[in-house]
Chain A
Amino acid sequence: MPATALTCRECGSTYPLEAQFVCSRCFGPLEAQYAEHPSAGDPDAIKRRIQAGPQTIWRYADFLPTDRVPTLPAAGPGGTGGLDGLPAGGTPLVRADRLAERLGLREVWVKNDAANPTHSFKDRVVAVAAARAKELGFTTLACASTGNLANAVAAAGAALGMPVYVFIPADLEEQKILATGIYGATVVTVRGNYDDVNRLCTEIAGERPDWAFVNVNMRPYYAEGSKTLAYEIAEELGFQAPDRIVAPIASGSLFTKIGKGFREWIDLGLLPEGTQVPIMSGAQAAGCNPVAAAFDAGHDVCRPVRPDTIAKSLAIGNPADGPYAIELARKTSGTISEVTDDEIRAGIKLLAETTGIFTETAGGVTTATLRKLAEEGRIGRDERVVIVITGEGLKTLDAVRGTFECREIAPSFDEFETIAEHRAEVTA
């Protein structure tokens, strides 16, 4: 673990690598700091170290603030494989020519993080947070969640033999609640929205110092897991950066860490000389748009909103990393857009019909944002664009219920022919 300290992003105060997330001087967020990379100055050696690693986020262990769950007994009889059964990362980056063609773009790639063990990018951040929680001696895992994180924490806790408490808004999608409870986690449904849940968990974390809340007191470690998305995209493109990334914004943490991942690799010389951090385009739902609204208004801070959107995993009305997301979008000449619920549904269908990837509503927001930018001519014709799909469509089935029709027939060939002819007319 090359991390050396936690540093306040606001005032620069430093703290030891413990379960602390807030600067006690100015209340700013803390972020992991690292020692110089062991092979700094020799990019080829760094690449070899990476390529010798497993096909998971742990091939980037030199860039993460923890070791790989070192305290677990070895896998095998009498032992446990720990998180080995939940290999986070190593998800496909697929070229989406049919999607590109539909939008009049030249080159679009889809980073499909629904392919993670619990079907969202949250397995990346949880792996890092859970590993660090083990190192620090915590015995209980917990989180505030809109669903995907709850799934990932519950599964990780089961693999590690740790009790899990998850706190979620009571009106969450049923699939996400089921996919948490099944692992044996204690699911606490809170009457309120995510911001209410988050407030409660921040308070509980302060009063329960023996609990590792992955996205509260473990946050500086947790957040670093998102950087691996940038590393993987770059590595899958042959150690190149794309021209633009389109990624969803909830709290703003994922978005900013993707930018950080590219910055780190550029600084280490792993990407071709002259490479810039990609143009960063953030995607929000119109029903929960605090970062997009602040970006449009030229503000540096976000005014909170009360969320009302089908994209519940992005429904954070009070996004703490919003200011940093705005800063990153501006620095890279990027954008932060919002799309309506109807556009989100259409985005889910568009991605599914052109790539075979069924995304949850957050991916609908991302795809709809790509479409909007393309239609408005805000993406250069020759740009290489990567869209980040953060979760699986089976978790948000209600959002797309009724968007297509089935054709019922009797078991008769003649009746089938009628349908087939009708189908041919419709698609002609």
Chain B
Amino acid sequence: MAQVTIKIPTQLRSATGGEGTVRAEGETVQGVLEHLFTAHPELRDSLTDSQGDLRRFVNVYLDGEDIRFGDGLGTPVADRQELQILPAVAGGR
């Protein structure tokens, strides 16, 4: 099992007791998130829909790379990688 760091956005820190960074383990992004949800169950509803897919305004990055450029939730993770969860933000330019 790979140990990864997960960065929690400010909007969701009430679910982690105010912590901005937590540790979790797994072999894929999905596995890591499941481990995260076990420790912090409130996060599951905020981040995933009833099918277990990521909600459409949730972006997840592995070492800065959008996981949709990899295998999405099936993207493999390695030790010491960083998973970042952020809301999709538009209105830019």
Q: Which residues of A line the B interface, CB within 8 A?
A: 10, 21-22, 24-29, 122, 125, 143-149, 194-196, 198-199, 201-203, 206-207, 215-216, 219, 222-223, 250-253, 301, 303-304, 306, 313-314, 316, 318-323
Contact = CB atoms under 8 A, between A and B. Distances in A.
Main SS class of interface, B: mixed
A195 B86 CA distance: 12
Contacts of B68: 303-304
A206 B57 contact: no
Nearest to A29: B57
Given A27-B87, A318-B66, A207 B10 contact: yes
A201 to B, nearest CB: 8
B89 A146 contact: no
A318 B61 CA distance: 12
B39 interface: no
A313 B93 contact: yes
B12 A24 contact: yes
A26 B89 contact: no
Interface of B: 7, 9-12, 14, 45-47, 55-59, 61, 64, 66, 68-69, 84, 86-93
B90 A26 contact: no
Contacts of B64: 196, 199
Contact of B93 (A21, A149, A323): A149
Contact of B91 (A147, A303, A314, A321): A321
B82 to A, nearest CB: 12
A262 B87 CA distance: 28
A365 to B, nearest CB: 13
Contacts of B9: 22, 202-203, 206
Given A10-B57, A304-B68, A318-B59, A24 B46 contact: yes
B86 A202 contact: yes
Contacts of A125: 91
Nearest to B88: A320
Q: Top 4 nearest A-B pairs by Cβ distance?
A: A320-B90, A251-B90, A206-B10, A320-B88
Given A10-B57, A24-B14, A250-B92, 19 more contacts: A10-B55, A22-B9, A24-B11, A24-B46, A27-B87, A145-B92, A148-B93, A194-B92, A194-B93, A199-B86, A201-B89, A215-B89, A215-B90, A215-B92, A219-B91, A223-B90, A251-B92, A253-B91, A320-B90
